[in-house]
Amino acid sequence: MGLMTKMRDNTAIVLYILIGSFGLLWVIMDVYDPNAISMTPRSIGSVNGEEITVEEYESRIQYYTNVYSQQTGASMTAELRAIYESQVWDELVNTKLLEQKMDELGITVTDSELLEMVYSDTPDPLIIQYFSRPDGSIDRFAIENVLTDPTYSQETLAIEVQLRQKRRQEKLSNFITAGLQVTDQDVQDEFMKRNTFADVSFIRFPYNEVTDEEITVTDDDIRDYYNENLELYKAEENYRANFVSFSTLPTAEDSATIIGELEDARNAFATATNDSLFLIREQSTTGYNGIFINKDELREDYAPVLDVAVGEVTEIINLGPSVAVIKKIEEQGDEIRFAVLSKVFEALPATIDNAGEEADEFVFYAEEETSFADEAARSGLTPIPVFATKGNTFIAGLGSSQQVVAFLENADEGDISDPIELSSQFVVLEMVEKNEEGYRPLEEVRAQIEVQVKNDKRKEITLQRVRDLVATTSTLEALSEASRKEIQEQEGLASSALVLFGAGREPKVIGSVFAQEQGSMSDALEGTNGAYVVYVESVTEPNMSTLTDATVNSLRSELEQQVNQSYLSIWLDELKDESDIEDNRSRIVR
């Protein structure tokens, strides 16, 4: 019975996924504006003419919402929902593209292949997940029972659909990556890279030691750099906007209410016979532990529990972001057992509602009566400028927000957003300027280019000075004396390392080290933030005879996975570029 219950529970999750993937009816109507739907597309979008339905989109979001609630016990925030909405859209587009490509290539899964995935000596991991015993063996009786009993027809169908889809996509992946190979030499090179080490000494010459007075930057230098590196100044579509905010941080009244609730619970906590259940009922942010702790190891904030008798509860303790009372459950010598009832200082619903209502009123008057700037002045609010780039959820001046970026991408200049709920505030934005994709003009990036040209000249001057010094010295010690710079050492530098101890991230320099002969001194090496001269004292390479078959297989599998994932990602991006993808989300979903 326990196994069947587990099967039903797990299959419910599978069904959610399948429902979301194949568009079974499941509409969550409360996220839509009926007036908006009446005159807009009926589908959320399309991929090469194949619709992505509202039902598909919302059912998959509902799946993520349910999983999040089950895992955290909390409701999904508006900002987190916006992130999942973007993720779900990408998933649905990718699914449609893959389905279409598999249909085009005629990729199918036969019944015999399906049976092999279920009944073979090495069944599919999905079967192992649902039908394994505690000892890891497969419960063949349970497989037969579930897959043949009409009572489990729904579960059986869900498993069959998912297995077929998984196998089909594996075939597509194999078809796409068929020409990719990881050779024996690739495996040996990776083994060598991971197990080769060097002991080195080096002197570092920072580029920033060259002063501005030693550098001359002309207009021709700036213009040449701009023309030679034009792609660096290609700007995605970007937006400038202003926003006003309405705080949802806890007020003094909220904090007082939370402290009062905790005070009211103290007596009941003291007399509770089941402390674990009591903490759950009171929604304590600190769970029940129930283990003995040495008094010397007790965190300082909890020290008041030492001063109360067994069965008593401390006065309220302020922990900064939260408050707590602690009950001493038992005391044995130098050890005690206790339970913590804590509550986080957070805004109460009334505070959040009030902020939301203020934001709603601001939008109404800004759109109907005055303007964004005038309403901000009337309300005593200061608009804050922000800058964002299409596809990037980080907004300079505000932070990360998928909701804000979604508004900016679909707004016209002068549009005012509905209130957007973030973690500690509601914000209302006005779109000020939208700039299309293109190259930024020279004058706009002149200051930025001037800095880069100066840095390049510093690098050239430093490298030439170091070359001149190396030409007049034969040892690192002589170079140290001539340059008055300290010799630094690093033992066991791995060839796969990226960071040089005491110098920072220097992959190019480290690569040069392992191209040197043991016992040799380099010329001036160009690093990220400085020039280097390196002496390689010793290099330790692995004995290739220690490369076992198990290691070969492990490395080959890892390299194949890396190569395949990288290629599949590029392939999918190219497939998207070639496809006709229509996105109607901004015209349907509020």
* pLDDT value, residue 473: 94
Distance set, CA 160 to CA 139, 171, 533 (Å): 18, 17, 63
φ and ψ at residue 365, rounded to 5 degrees: -70, -35
* pLDDT value, residue 43: 83
* pLDDT value, residue 13: 37
Tokens of 457: 């000249």
Q: Over the stretch 381-428, which tens digit does the pLDDT of each residue have?
A: 999 999 999 988 999 889 899 999 999 999 999 999 999 999 899 999
Provide the residue-wise pLDDT of the chain in tens; the chain has 590 residues. 333 333 334 434 333 333 344 333 333 333 334 343 344 456 889 999 999 998 889 988 998 888 888 887 778 888 888 889 999 999 999 989 999 999 999 999 898 888 889 888 888 888 888 888 888 888 888 888 888 888 878 878 888 888 988 898 888 888 888 878 889 999 999 999 999 999 999 999 999 999 999 999 999 999 999 999 999 998 889 999 999 999 999 999 999 999 999 999 999 999 999 999 999 999 898 999 889 999 999 999 999 999 999 999 999 999 989 999 999 999 999 999 999 999 999 999 999 999 999 999 999 999 998 899 999 999 999 999 999 999 889 998 898 999 999 999 999 999 999 999 998 999 999 999 999 899 989 998 999 999 999 999 999 999 999 999 999 999 999 999 999 999 999 999 999 999 998 888 999 999 999 999 999 999 999 999 999 999 999 999 999 989 999 999 999 999 998 998 889 889 999 999 999 999 988 776 55
- Residues 6 or more apart in contact with residue 559 via CB below 8 angstroms: 182, 186, 187, 190
Question: Which class for 336: exposed (0-12), middle (13-18), buried (19 or more C-beta within 10 A)?
Answer: buried
* pLDDT value, residue 156: 83
Distance CA 308, CA 339 (A): 13
* pLDDT value, residue 166: 87
* pLDDT value, residue 101: 92
196-233+443-541 and 237-249+349-436: identical CATH topology: yes
* pLDDT value, residue 41: 57
Residue pointed to by tokens 């990288």: 566
Tokens of 407: 């508004």
Q: Over the stretch 94-152, which tens digit does the pLDDT of each residue have?
A: 989 999 999 999 999 898 888 889 888 888 888 888 888 888 888 888 888 888 888 87
- List the chain domain ranges: 2-176+581-588, 196-233+443-541, 237-249+349-436, 252-344
* pLDDT value, residue 135: 84
pTM (2 d.p.): 0.63
* pLDDT value, residue 5: 37
Beta strand segments in 461-575, E: 488-494, 499-500, 504-505, 525-526, 530-540
| DSSP letter (8 states) at residue 313 | B
Distance CA 305, CA 325 (A): 9
The CATH topology of domain 196-233+443-541 is Chitinase A; domain 3 (3.10.50)
Distance CA 191, CA 184 (A): 11
Considering the segment(s) 237-249+349-436 as one domain, its CATH architecture is Roll (3.10)
- Residues 6 or more apart in contact with residue 530 via CB below 8 angstroms: 204, 205, 206, 207, 462, 503
Distance CA 497, CA 518 (A): 18
330 neighbors 363 (Cβ within 8 angstroms): no
Annotate 337-372 with three-state secondary structure: EEEEEEEECCCCHHHHHHHHHHHHHHHHHHHHCCCH
* pLDDT value, residue 14: 36
Beta bridge partners of 429: 243
Distance CA 589, CA 418 (A): 13
Distance linking the first and last C-alpha atoms of the chain = 45
Distance CA 487, CA 478 (A): 10
Q: What sign for the dihedral angle of Cα 429, 431, 437, 438?
A: negative
